[in-house]
Amino acid sequence: MASPERVARVARALQQVLAELIAREVKDPRVQGVTITDVDVSRDLAHARVYLAFSHENIAETLKGFEKASGFLRKRVGEELDLRITPSLKFYHDPAVKAGGRMDDILSRL
């Protein structure tokens, strides 16, 4: 098991590398207009949950695009990062971003 500090470092590195790969190398138009809000990595560094914020409402189709691209992204992450095990990638919609936006709207009305 990796230390909590190492898990946090790997999560930050994954977030950065994935953002660059999505912007530069993934050609699927379904995955464009997405922001990676967070990455949670398991203690054994074998699994990563990638949370996404969407600039559009076609969430289900975009998640399908990420599911299709996950093998390519995992391979490229393995090439970019020097990890013994490249984590499997699962992509999730981050509903907290939308809730946070609603809170900002409410607070701005006060």
Give me the chain's average pLDDT, please.
Answer: 88
Beta bridge mates, 48 = 41, 89
Distance CA 41, CA 49 (A): 6
Per-residue pLDDT of 40-83, as tens digits, reads: 999 999 999 999 998 878 889 999 999 999 999 999 999 999 89
- CA-nearest of 49, 35, 39, 50 to 10 is 39
1 falls in which pLDDT band (50, 70, 90)? confident
Beta bridge mates, 81 = none
- CA-nearest of 31, 27, 16, 3 to 81 is 16
Kindly tell me if the per-residue pLDDT of 103 is higher than 50: no
**Span 20-32, mean pLDDT?**
92
**Span 10-16, mean pLDDT?**
97
- What is the topology classification, in CATH, of domain 4-109? GMP Synthetase; Chain A, domain 3 (3.30.300)
Neighbours of 73 (CB within 10 A): 22
- CA-nearest of 56, 51, 48, 11 to 32 is 56
Kindly tell me if the per-residue pLDDT of 2 is higher than 80: yes
Per-residue pLDDT of 91-100, as tens digits, reads: 999 887 554 4
Distance CA 63, CA 40 (A): 17
> What 8-state DSSP symbol labels residue 48?
E
Residue carrying structure tokens 């093998």? 71
24 falls in which pLDDT band (50, 70, 90)? very high
What pLDDT does residue 99 have?
Answer: 44
